[in-house]
Amino acid sequence: MDTLIPLFVAIPLISAFLIVILGKLVKGFHRFFAPLILLALLVMAVIEFSSLGKSSIHYTLGGWSTEGGYPVGIYMVLDGFSVLMLCIINLIGFIALFYSLSYIRKYTAESNYYALFCLIIAGMNGVVLSGDLFNLFVFLEVSVISSYALVAFGVGKTELEASFKYQVLGGLASMLILLAIGLIYWKTKTLNIADVRNVLDAGYSKPYYIFIQVLLISGFGLKAAIIPFHAWLPDAHSSAPSPISAMLSGVLIKAVGIYVLIRLFFNMFVFTHEIAVVFTTLGAISMVIGAFLAFMQWDVKRLLAYSSISQIGYVVMAFGMSMILLVRGDNYTAAALAIAGGVYHMVNHAVFKGLLFLNAGALEYRLDTRDLKKMGGLSSAMPVTSSTSFMASMSISGIPPFNGFFSKLIIIIAAINGKFYLLATLAVVISFITLAYFLKFQRYAFFNKPLQKSIEKIREVPFSMSFSMVVLAILCLALSLLAFPSINDAILRPAIHVLMQSDIYSTTIMGL
């Protein structure tokens, strides 16, 4: 099915332009066209997922493949890890778009919103599929530039300020990434990720590549908002329209941040102990500090944004631990377990953080405020929002039958198996703090005595919004099935396989 691969980028890209052009001529064109496109992409992603298994396929643009053993064309690669990311991106994208059908009516220039939404999807699909460093950079810019515009979509004072801050830091990150790509090309004379790996396998000068790796960690760390680089995230994610916050927090920071870091460090560079330790430390720091910062917030969406930093910390820490274990090379089962926990938590976080931002959007839609102190007693007025947000909160804080419990449990077990006792303790403690601030959110928003007199007038949100929230809440429960070994094998194993056998990516693509 390798002919389907370029369509993941082409379809949303073309439909973005169609929406802008035809949206002016046909009334309401964008309202049914954009969800249809996203649904088609989701179906395609699921088809690819079910047919792929552990194999990996690639598509060469324009049929330019290898010339004398060197790849000259642009490669798009689909393997176990990227197909999983594709499924998440298009799933959350479809649900957020369906939610926007009601939510975005209060803004003007609706068709521009849908066009930008398609562009952000095209960019992220491109980043995940690209097998070439420079194209990865181009797609990354496509998705982040449209996200700058979407953050400022409300054109209020705070939205514009947040977008400016986001752009300056995002621009800085893009430059660091471009510099690193240039430096890689200087030494290896190739941009293909698989080919770079083969060049590095033949031997390389360590200090030069450590410098490149530091540049890449700071660049993609800024995109992923790992803690010393997090300053833009709470502003940008809380100012954007809520479905966009769900996209940014749920998918964008993973697709352009974590995914690329993991792909480059596992499948392109050869592991070094120093970088593995840096990864683990950054992850642990963002996990701890993010949770404490979230605890102090009274703005719903800022609380959720800081909590994203903390949960991304869990994912980075899990991957960092597995890198340390793989460098040591003595405990492969614990390393595989840590990778499994990281991938699983990444999937889960996309689902429950997406849901929580949609809940926050529903509150803002009915109450016109994001301040927790001005809410209260909404559980009877908005039963769907209240029950779904309760499920998401329990899930993110790791309460048993929900998915968050199992992924955190796997990470903690991996940490204990790998003898990282301090990290395991921290993960447990932070899980309790997460529970504390989500109970605060639940109590002040839904269970306190009503503060507003007009509480009787508040009704449940419209169908498209409540439907999206219910779908995600069901997914929160359904994903906990992944904890069963047989289901886990079918769904997460291909991704773990690609990351554990770090040479497999380059050898299959280069046809060795």
Partner 1 sequence: MTVYILCFVLFLVGLYGVITRRNLIKIAIALSIMEFSIFLMLVLIGYIDGGLAPIVDPDLAGQIYVDPLPQAMVLTAIVIGLATTSMLMAIAIRLYRKYKTFDIREIKNLRG
Residues lying near partner 1 in the complex (CB under 8 A):
134, 137-138, 141, 145, 148-149, 152, 155-158, 160-165, 167-168, 171-172, 174-175, 178-179, 182, 185-186, 191, 234-235, 239, 296-297, 302
Type of residue at 217: I
Residue 301 or 345 having the CB closest to partner 1: 301
Residue 249 or 348 having the CB closest to partner 1: 249
The closest of 219, 244, 216, 98 to 169, measured between CA atoms, is: 219
Closest distance to partner 1 from the beta carbon of 197 (Å):
19
Residue 174 or 388 having the CB closest to partner 1: 174
Closest distance to partner 1 from the beta carbon of 372 (Å):
15
Type of residue at 224: A
| Cβ count near 442 (within 10 Å) | 17
Longest dimension (CA), the chain: 76
3 state DSSP class of 262: helix
Closest distance to partner 1 from the beta carbon of 158 (Å):
5
> Is 202:243 a contact under the CB 8 Å cutoff?
no
Distance between CA atoms of residues 119 and 142, nearest Å: 7
Burial class (CB in 10 A: 0-12, 13-18, 19+), 49: middle
Residue 191 or 225 having the CB closest to partner 1: 191
Calculate helix-pair angle for 29-52, 80-103, nearest 10 degrees: 160
The Cα-based distances of 440 to 43, 246, 296, 358, 383 in angstroms read 38, 21, 10, 18, 18
Closest distance to partner 1 from the beta carbon of 164 (Å):
5
- State phi, psi for 71 to the nearest 5 degrees: -75, 130
Closest distance to partner 1 from the beta carbon of 229 (Å):
15
Percent helix, strand and coil across the chain, each rounded to 5? 80, 5, 15
Residue 138 or 478 having the CB closest to partner 1: 138
User: Could you tell me where the beta strands, DSSP code E, fall in 21-141?
Assistant: 57-60, 66-67, 70-71, 75-78
Closest distance to partner 1 from the beta carbon of 240 (Å):
13
Closest distance to partner 1 from the beta carbon of 352 (Å):
24
Q: How many residues does the chain have?
A: 512
Calculate the dihedral angle through the C-alpha atoms of 421, 425, 431, 433, rounding to the nearest 10 degrees.
-150
Distance between CA atoms of residues 209 and 206, nearest Å: 5
Rounded (5°) CA angle 482-487-489: 105
Residue 149 or 323 having the CB closest to partner 1: 149
| Cβ count near 340 (within 10 Å) | 24
Closest distance to partner 1 from the beta carbon of 408 (Å):
27
> Is 197:503 a contact under the CB 8 Å cutoff?
yes
Residue 164 or 204 having the CB closest to partner 1: 164
Residue 48 or 132 having the CB closest to partner 1: 132
Closest distance to partner 1 from the beta carbon of 239 (Å):
8
Residue 48 or 159 having the CB closest to partner 1: 159
> Is 313:287 a contact under the CB 8 Å cutoff?
yes
Closest distance to partner 1 from the beta carbon of 108 (Å):
14
Residue 44 or 142 having the CB closest to partner 1: 142
Closest distance to partner 1 from the beta carbon of 178 (Å):
5
Residue 298 or 432 having the CB closest to partner 1: 298
Residue 147 or 403 having the CB closest to partner 1: 147
In the chain the first and final C-alpha atoms are separated, in Å, by 21
- Residue whose structure tokens are 């035809």: 22
Calculate helix-pair angle for 157-188, 193-201, nearest 10 degrees: 40
Closest distance to partner 1 from the beta carbon of 193 (Å):
16
Buried b / exposed e along 275-285 (16+ C-beta atoms within 10 A): bbebbbebbbb
Residue 253 or 293 having the CB closest to partner 1: 293
Closest distance to partner 1 from the beta carbon of 163 (Å):
5
Please name every residue paired with 71 in a beta bridge, in sequence order, or none if there are none. Answer: 66
Type of residue at 221: G
Among the residues of 368-462, which ranges form H helices?
A: 383-396, 403-417, 421-442
